Every structure is written in C-alpha cells, then in structure tokens.
Amino acid sequence: MPLEHAILAFIEYQPMSGYDLKKFFDVSVAHFWSATQSHIYKSLEGLEKKGWAEARVIQQDGKPNRKEYQITDEGRAELRRWMVTPLPMDPVREASLIQIFFSHFSSNEQIAALLEARMQEIREHLYILRTSAQAAINENAQRISIERARQLWQITLDYGIDYYEFELAWYEKTLETVRNLPPLMPPNLPSP
C-alpha cells in the first residue's frame, strides 16, 4: 500500500511521530499524495503489526508522551522491495468531471462558472507548489545535503506543476467549448 511505504520512507530518514509525519506529508508530497492524520496513525499501527516499524514512547514534561516510530530491518527490506516493483496505473477519479459529464440540464453559464471556479483553485494550488512546496524542497535538501534526493524531489514537484498546468490549459480550452454548447433543452421527464 503506497501510504505505508511512504511512511516507511519518511521514518527511514529519522524516527517520527504521527504528527511529524502529517507535517512532512503536507510540505513534501501533498502535490501528488495526501494523507489524513487518521490514515497515518492507522498505517503506523499496521506497520508495527507487520514488524516493519517499531514505536518507542518518549516521556515529556507537561505534555502528553510522544510516540515515535522508526523503521526496522524488515521494514527497510520491504521498502527496498517495493521501491523497485512496478506499480499498476491508478484509476482516474475526478469528481469535477462527473459534474461536467452530467451537466446537460445546467445552463452554459452554470457550467462555465464551475469551470472558472476550478481554474481559480488550480491557479492557487500552482502558486503554492511554486512557492511553499519549492521552498520546502530547498530547505529539506539543505538539511540532508543529498543532491540525488533533492533532484528526485524536484522531479516530483515538477510533475505536480506540469500536471496542474495541463489541467488549467484543458479547462481554458473547455471553457470556450462550454460557452458555445447548443441551447439548453428542458428535461423530458415522464408525466406523473
């Protein structure tokens, strides 16, 4: 499961708590893989049960104890195996396309408004990738001083930027088509 393997890869860098992992997900890989706090904790439990990670409790004064996870030798072997195993293509799931697909009873203006809202969201996301995500890569690369890792991280960020630039271009092209759709026909519903 990719989430488990992503967690193994993160805790291979250093032991981390579930809270730490969520922060790392949000600033490093969120442009192509997101994880909720609850999914992270559930995966950590699974990793521990499989013997791929082990936890240790760190006593803290005035705060709840901290549970940090570190990768085991079995976890490292599993991570290495997974890293060289080709993965099947993920099916595309895009809720906004479901809206478009079934919008034949919406006006052109209503559909265009959906597209324009999505385009604005994409622009905002691209800004985050180009600023915050890029800064996180630069900062983490300086911290660990592994040029190979920095270049691989940059490749994934470039993918995210390219993906959203393509999506934005597609929406811009589609917006023109939507504005010129045939007139809206009233639904032909059965009589009661």
Domains of the chain, residue spans: 2-83, 95-179
Distance CA 161, CA 125 (A): 9
- 71 confidence band (pLDDT: 50, 70, 90): very high
- 63 confidence band (pLDDT: 50, 70, 90): confident
- 64 confidence band (pLDDT: 50, 70, 90): confident
Q: What is the CA radius of gyration of the chain?
A: 22
Mean per-residue pLDDT of the chain:
91
Query: Measuring CA to CA, how many Å separate 154 from each of 61, 112, 130?
Result: 39, 34, 11
Which residues does 173 contact at the CB level (< 8 Å), separation at least 6? none
pLDDT at residue 13 in the model: 87
Beta bridge partners of 38: none
Q: What is the mean pLDDT of residues 160-169?
A: 96
pLDDT at residue 170 in the model: 97
Q: Which residue has the higher pLDDT, 13 or 52?
A: 52
Would you say residue 138 has pLDDT above 80?
yes
Would you say residue 190 has pLDDT above 80?
no
Would you say residue 48 has pLDDT above 80?
yes
Mutual angle of helices 2-13 and 18-28, in 10-degree steps: 100
- 192 confidence band (pLDDT: 50, 70, 90): low
Would you say residue 23 has pLDDT above 70?
yes
Q: What does the pLDDT look like over 35-44, one tens digit per residue?
A: 999 999 999 9
Q: Percent of the chain, pLDDT > 90?
A: 71
Q: What is the mean pLDDT of residues 121-130?
A: 95
Domain 2-83, CATH among 1.10.10.10, 3.60.150.10, 2.30.40.10, 3.40.50.720: 1.10.10.10
Distance CA 31, CA 125 (A): 9
Q: What is the mean pLDDT of residues 20-24?
A: 91
